[in-house]
Amino acid sequence: MPALSLSCRNCATDHPLEANGTCSRCFGPLDPVYDWDHLRATVSRESIAAGPLSLWRYAALLPVDAPTEARLAPGFTPLVPAPRLADELGIGELWLKLDTANPTHSFKDRVVAVAARKAQELGFETLSCSSTGNLAGAVAARAAAEGLRAAVFVPADLEPEKLAAAAVFGPTIYAVNGTYDHCSRLSVELSFELPWGFVNVNLRSYYAEGSKTLAYEIAEQLGWETPDAVAIPIASGALYHKIGQGFGELRALGLVDGGTPRLYGGQAQGCQPVATAFRNGGRVQPVRPDTVARSLAIGNPADGDFAVSTARASGGAIYTVDEEDVGSNMALLATTTGVFGETAAGVTLGALRAAVAAGELDGTSRVVLLVTGDGLKTPGPVAHTYAPVAIEADADAFVDEVLVA
């Protein structure tokens, strides 16, 4: 197995590779420990290129063994140029990382694939999670593909499109009367009572590592070069932090050319605990979410402080995006690139626009923007774009009256 143990990110206490997401000494988060000398001697661009066209091409850098039969394998999603949007923003080169191409149309398929693999190694028969929507679908689909049971906990008022996208795979959906943070607290408590694999609780140490593969793929798809900057949505802060870690690991292994990318994070105004901490220079303080960007509505982000430190270490920033700008940014992305991203993409593009306005990016910058989820799951904020012209089924009238109007 690639990983040797788990280690506390705060106090460095070692723990065995079990279903345990927090340190028994200080309750800090646990990260897998790898034999980096061995990896430097065995992992190369060539060995990675010889792997499958999925995240399992990076199995040597993940805390689980790759499956013999990779069912519904996520990853190696398209990285596509967006020249019209780059011109609109005034930056030199813009690429979109389309994780909408994953099996359930979000980046959550990555993290769940790794967590589920560990769940199978440990003998769990039920996968579970607390979710703002995308994770519920990813867990339900993974369980269906692997022949496991699934139980997901979601806020009762979640977007119906996301509930339907999870329900079709056959999980038990528990609609919790409260916010995502209530769901999260409930799943933490239940993880001590039930023999289930809670992907973002007792399997979180493995789950979070799946996010690193976004950094790996971006570098590989750019010819093993780092971009100048990456724009990333922030919810729990784990995705943002792990992408920073992923680029750092590539540099430590000598696999990538270029410097450390500046990471620009975004949060919507109605749920901005991480952006506030970055702006004020303090620790993250919990808030009650009230935002159209439901997939980012985590008021008590577990990795928020680590996201702040990652932003400072990379030379990037974390911005707040006005609620009324989320939908317009989703529409701007769509009309300039042909890509319909969910509300998180509207927030991410808003953060990128803020970085440009602040003079941090310009016409010489090469930037990657993450599109982490599909807009078909969150169509509400762009409903204003639907304005059909009513006509009669008469070609002459259409030409003579409608087109000349």
The domain that contains 277 carries what CATH number?
3.40.50.1100
Q: Is the pLDDT of residue 342 over 90?
A: yes
Residues 268, 238: contact at Cβ < 8 Å? no
- Give residue-wise pLDDT tens across range 372-398: 999 999 999 999 999 999 999 999 999
Would residue 135 count as lying in a domain?
no
Q: pTM to 2 decimals?
A: 0.95
Q: How far apart are CA 250 and CA 255, in angstroms?
A: 5
231's enclosing H/E stretch is strand 229-233
Q: How far apart are CA 361 and CA 368, in angstroms?
A: 12
CA 404 to chain centre: 47
- Quote the tokens at residue 104: 């359930």
- Quote the tokens at residue 125: 């028969």
Q: How far apart are CA 86 and CA 98, in angstroms?
A: 16
Alpha helices in 125-254 (DSSP H): 134-146, 160-167, 180-191, 204-207, 212-221, 238-252
What's the structural domain count of the chain? Answer: 1
Q: Is the pLDDT of residue 160 over 90?
A: no
Confidence of residue 42 (pLDDT cuts 50, 70, 90): very high
Mean pLDDT, rounded, of the chain? 96
Confidence of residue 31 (pLDDT cuts 50, 70, 90): very high
Q: How far apart are CA 291 and CA 36, in angstroms?
A: 42
- Give residue-wise pLDDT tens across range 272-304: 999 999 999 999 999 999 999 999 999 999 999
Would residue 370 count as lying in a domain?
yes
Share of the chain above pLDDT 70, in %: 100
Would residue 111 count as lying in a domain?
no
Where in the sequence is the domain holding 347, given as residue range(s)? 79-104+209-385
Confidence of residue 1 (pLDDT cuts 50, 70, 90): low
Confidence of residue 21 (pLDDT cuts 50, 70, 90): confident
Confidence of residue 220 (pLDDT cuts 50, 70, 90): very high
Would residue 258 count as lying in a domain?
yes
Residues 53, 60: contact at Cβ < 8 Å? no
Q: Give residue 63's pLDDT.
A: 96
Residues 200, 130: contact at Cβ < 8 Å? yes
Per residue, the 3-state secondary structure of 106-147, as one string, reads: ECHHHHHHHHHHHHHHHCCCEEEEECCCHHHHHHHHHHHHHC
Would residue 259 count as lying in a domain?
yes
Q: For the chain, give the number of residues.
A: 405
Q: How far apart are CA 104 and CA 101, in angstroms?
A: 8
For tokens 């011109």, name the residue: 87
**Of all residues in the chain, what percent are helix, strand and coil, respectively (each to 5)?**
45, 20, 40
Tell me phi and psi for residue 325, to 5 degrees: -90, -15
Q: Is the pLDDT of residue 77 over 80?
A: yes
Confidence of residue 224 (pLDDT cuts 50, 70, 90): very high
C-alpha distances out from residue 220 to 161, 191, 214, 265, 394, Å = 34, 37, 10, 22, 54
- Give residue-wise pLDDT tens across range 84-114: 999 999 999 999 999 999 999 999 999 999 9
Would residue 161 count as lying in a domain?
no
Q: Give residue 405's pLDDT.
A: 77
Q: Is the pLDDT of residue 152 over 90?
A: yes
332's enclosing H/E stretch is helix 323-337
Would residue 42 count as lying in a domain?
no
Reported for 304-309, long-range contacts at CB under 8 A and 24+ positions apart, including other chains, are 304/234, 304/236, 304/237, 304/273, 304/274, 304/277, 305/237, 305/277, 306/9, 306/29, 306/237, 306/238, 306/241, 307/234, 307/237, 307/240, 307/241, 307/265, 307/274, 308/237, 308/274, 308/277, 308/278, 308/284
